[in-house]
Amino acid sequence: MIRFDSVTKEYPDGTVAVGGLDLTAPDGKITVLVGPSGCGKTTSLRMVNRMIEPTGGRILVDDKDTAKMDAAELRRGMGYVIQQAGLFPHRTVADNIATVPRLLGWDRRKSRSRSLELLERVGLPGEYADRYPHQLSGGQQQRVGVARALAADPPVMLMDEPFSAVDPVVREQLQDEFLRLQSDLGKTILFVTHDIDEAVKLGDQVAVLRVGGQIAQVADPATLLGDPHDDFVADFVGRDRGYRGLGFRTAPVLEPSPEPTVRLGAGVDEVRRSGDQWLLVADDDNRPLGWVEPSRITAPLVTEDLHRGGTVAVLGGSSRAVLDAALSAPSRRGVLVDDDGRLVGTVTLAEVAAAIEQAVGRGKR
């Protein structure tokens, strides 16, 4: 557990970066600090490992006052991940990951073994161990940065906008991988971001800060989206919070309709036989691949004929995913699959909207 007890940071010119912060980051959970530029979120994070010294109040980690601990020892007991990974360019990936274990006195063989184990855990092949940072993509470097932070198995991790320097597709992949890791490891994590979408996706609790490092609201993501404390929080969270809030509602009970499918390689007559404007294409395991317009098909069906704009939702997943599947499908029939990705059926936008409205009316979450 990390606890901020009336913590302040005032600079010599009188600037107050953090003014009386009271916050608890519970054990085994992700607490996200989010807010506009200048709200003190990075300053607050860096005061935990004393890279910035507070000018008032106390910060306690597992009920120990960090001000009374040796700074170097404190830092070795915490994982720390920053933007653009911050890897040592002259060290191999394995040696980068082993930085803290080596400082703790681990021998080279044990450190190497730990590096290889963590490479696999963050989704990188073992042969990357002997590469150098410049030989990796930005997303791969960030994975190595996370692995390095985990190397000595610290109970606490500090993460300062770790995924902000990569493109949106890679960023989403890193977020998903991070959540998978956290479900396995259960670390106490303090995470800083300026992106409210990232905050509500990753946080077990989200602390919205005002300029000057003061708490505007601390809540779980669903509460933050559904019941902002004041206009500042509502404006910061954004106007589409009702739609995003559906991501925290289990999808309402739906009865998918059977959906005819064809396989790649199907001939023109087979494709056009359905008589529908749009026809769903699936593979041999009945996993959806995309939609086609039968009227446009003049030769056996190939991959290039597929319309891939529609998303796919897992039956029993979130209301937002199901609604998006129905909205994004060119046929306006949302594709639902089971946990193995196999087609269950489709639902129309009207069916999804009616089911969500009924569930909201009953007060279901």
pLDDT for position 193: 93
Percent of the chain with pLDDT over 90: 49
Q: Is the pLDDT of residue 275 over 90?
A: no
Q: Which residues pair with 56 in a beta bridge?
A: 8
Give the CATH superfamily of 2-248.
Answer: P-loop containing nucleotide triphosphate hydrolases (3.40.50.300)
pLDDT band at 243 (very low <50, low <70, confident <90, very high): confident
Q: Is the pLDDT of residue 364 over 60?
A: no
Percent of the chain with pLDDT over 70: 98
Least confident of 52-61, 202-211, 267-276: 267-276
Q: In the chain, count of helices (H) and strands (E)?
A: 14, 16
**Rounded mean pLDDT, 260-269:** 91
In angstroms, how far is the first alpha carbon of the chain from the final one?
A: 28
CB of 83 closer than 8 Å to CB of 159: no
**Rounded mean pLDDT, 261-268:** 91
CB of 288 closer than 8 Å to CB of 337: yes
pLDDT for position 361: 63
Give the pLDDT confidence of 311-345 residue by residue, as tens digits.
Answer: 899 888 888 888 999 999 999 899 999 989 999 99
**Rounded mean pLDDT, 279-301:** 92
pLDDT for position 362: 56
CB of 193 closer than 8 Å to CB of 199: yes
pLDDT for position 250: 74
Query: What is the fold, at CATH topology level, of the domain defined by 261-361?
Result: CBS-domain (3.10.580)
Q: Is the pLDDT of residue 355 over 60?
A: yes
Q: Is the pLDDT of residue 310 over 90?
A: no
pLDDT band at 22 (very low <50, low <70, confident <90, very high): very high
**Rounded mean pLDDT, 269-275:** 83
**Rounded mean pLDDT, 247-257:** 80
CA distance 162 to 145: 9
**Rounded mean pLDDT, 111-134:** 90
**Rounded mean pLDDT, 333-359:** 89
Q: Is the pLDDT of residue 363 over 70?
A: no
Give the pLDDT confidence of 157-186 residue by residue, as tens digits.
Answer: 999 998 887 788 788 888 888 898 899 889
pLDDT for position 365: 46
> Residue 223: is it exposed, middle or buried by C-beta count within 10 angstroms (0-12/13-18/19+)?
middle
Q: Is the pLDDT of residue 86 over 90?
A: no
- Letter for the amino acid at 186? G
Domain segments of the chain: what residues?
2-248, 261-361
Run of H or E including 264: none
Q: Where are the alpha helices (DSSP H) in 66-220?
A: 71-76, 93-97, 99-103, 108-121, 138-150, 168-185, 196-202
**Rounded mean pLDDT, 260-280:** 88
**Rounded mean pLDDT, 104-111:** 89
pLDDT for position 249: 72
